[in-house]
Amino acid sequence: MARLFMLLIALSLLPLSSSDGKELKFAVVPKFYSVFFDQSKTGCVDAAAQIKGVECIYRGPELSSVRLQDQVINQLIDEGVDGIAVAVTQSKYLIENSLKRAKEAGIPVVTYDSDFDASINQDPKNFRLAYIGTDNFELGKSLGEELKKLRPNGGTLIIQSGRPDSPNLNLRLMGVRSALSGNTYSVPPGKMLNNEQGWTEVREPLFNFDQLSQAVKQMESVMKGKPVKADSFVSVGGWAQNDAALYREMIAPFQGKINDKEVVIIMTDTSPEQLTMLKDNLAHINVGQNPYEMGKQAILTLYKIVTKQKYDDIIYTPVTFCTQQNYETCEKPTGM
């Protein structure tokens, strides 16, 4: 009798699987389809393949638009998914619309890549159970620290970002400014640099609204020095380099400026195409994220939540530092 009782307890602790007659469908919703976010799809699919009875649904808008992203989430709710991981485009809008519905429907939500910001005026834990992704403030600081290595005496700077209302990108902006100025800011994105520790932003950040061709054009204006001139360019995302052919065409006439560090180029992300650009001396440093791991951990975390297992409510995925010298090894784990 005792052995039967112990067996029943053990069976009750087993995770859900298809053998229980319950298929679990977890959705990963990017800001938009892109070179970066599509790597989170691969992580999502691979994680789901490791768990019996779990399916990964990767679905997002073609363009960066909070309304389109909201529509995708509403569709997933209507389809009865068991959990949603979302890269937040605009916090307040999603919480007042689709994510409010998800909460009312009892569908667990986690965020990845981009978490909720202060605009919601509430604790993010009221709407999401975990965040998986880069520590965005620390990523921004890393971009700034890498720039300081190449420009130890300061300089003039133009920063490129995606949207002025993007929670994760504003944290990165604040990180860059903190690293270069030595100041502590209370609210993202911090303040424009004005000769703090020798650093000055010559204009407000260039916002490309996740349009790759626009990002390339903006960067070209920096390389030309028209209409404004700066000796340093930091992009808190990989936009311009995500259209590899267009980037190469644009940057080719400025190879001499890159070689002579007349303009220092610090980029975010390290896709295979971006590492090839480093090899070809088309940028100086790329600080990489790990979107594959974000997608993987999003599925594993949602699975733990639904099956009542212990989970981490914050998972920071690692960054890598890639240069023209170490581009072949920078993405490999230590010890390989």
7 occurs within a structural domain? no
Q: Same structural domain for residues 282 and 186?
A: yes
Encoded tokens for 166? 């993007």
What CATH number is associated with residue 184? Answer: 3.40.50.2300
Pair 87, 30: CB distance under 8 Å: yes
**What phi and psi, each to the nearest 5 degrees, are found at residue 52?**
-60, 130
**How many domains would you assign to the chain?**
2
Q: Same structural domain for residues 228 and 104?
A: no
Residue 10 confidence (pLDDT): 44
329 occurs within a structural domain? no
89 occurs within a structural domain? yes
327 occurs within a structural domain? no
Q: Whole domain around residue 184: which residue ranges?
A: 136-288
Residue 332 confidence (pLDDT): 75
334 occurs within a structural domain? no
Residue 50 CB partners (closer than 8 Å, separation 6+):
none
Q: Same structural domain for residues 250 and 166?
A: yes
Give the model's confidence band at 254: pLDDT under 50 very low, under 70 low, under 90 confident, else very high: very high
Distance CA 36, CA 236 (A): 13
- Exposure b/e, 148-184, CB count within 10 A at least 16 = b: beebeebbbbbbbbbbebbbbbbbbbbbbbbbbbeee
User: At residue 99, does pLDDT exceed 50?
Assistant: yes
189-241 confidence digits (pLDDT tens): 999 999 999 999 999 999 999 999 999 999 999 999 999 999 999 999 999 99
Phi-psi category of residue 155: left, alpha or beta, with phi > 0 → left and psi -120 to 50 → alpha:
left
Residue 5 confidence (pLDDT): 38
Q: Same structural domain for residues 201 and 97?
A: no
Encoded tokens for 70? 């909201």
- DSSP H or E run through 155: strand 155-161
55-85 confidence digits (pLDDT tens): 999 999 999 999 999 999 999 999 999 999 9
161-178 confidence digits (pLDDT tens): 999 999 999 999 999 999
Q: Same structural domain for residues 306 and 239?
A: no
Distance CA 243, CA 295 (A): 22
326 occurs within a structural domain? no
Q: Same structural domain for residues 161 and 243?
A: yes
Give one DSSP letter per residue of 95-113, joined into a string.
Answer: HHTHHHHHHHTT--EEEES
Q: Same structural domain for residues 84 and 22?
A: yes
Give the model's confidence band at 111: pLDDT under 50 very low, under 70 low, under 90 confident, else very high: very high
270-325 confidence digits (pLDDT tens): 999 999 999 999 999 999 999 999 999 999 999 999 999 999 999 999 999 999 99
Q: Same structural domain for residues 155 and 266?
A: yes
Distance CA 287, CA 312 (A): 25
Distance CA 285, CA 143 (A): 9
User: At residue 181, does pLDDT exceed 70?
Assistant: yes
User: At residue 13, does pLDDT exceed 80?
Assistant: no
75 occurs within a structural domain? yes
335 occurs within a structural domain? no
Pair 70, 98: CB distance under 8 Å: yes
Residue 88 confidence (pLDDT): 96
Q: Same structural domain for residues 298 and 278?
A: no
Q: Same structural domain for residues 140 and 269?
A: yes
Q: Same structural domain for residues 114 and 146?
A: no
Q: Same structural domain for residues 181 and 108?
A: no
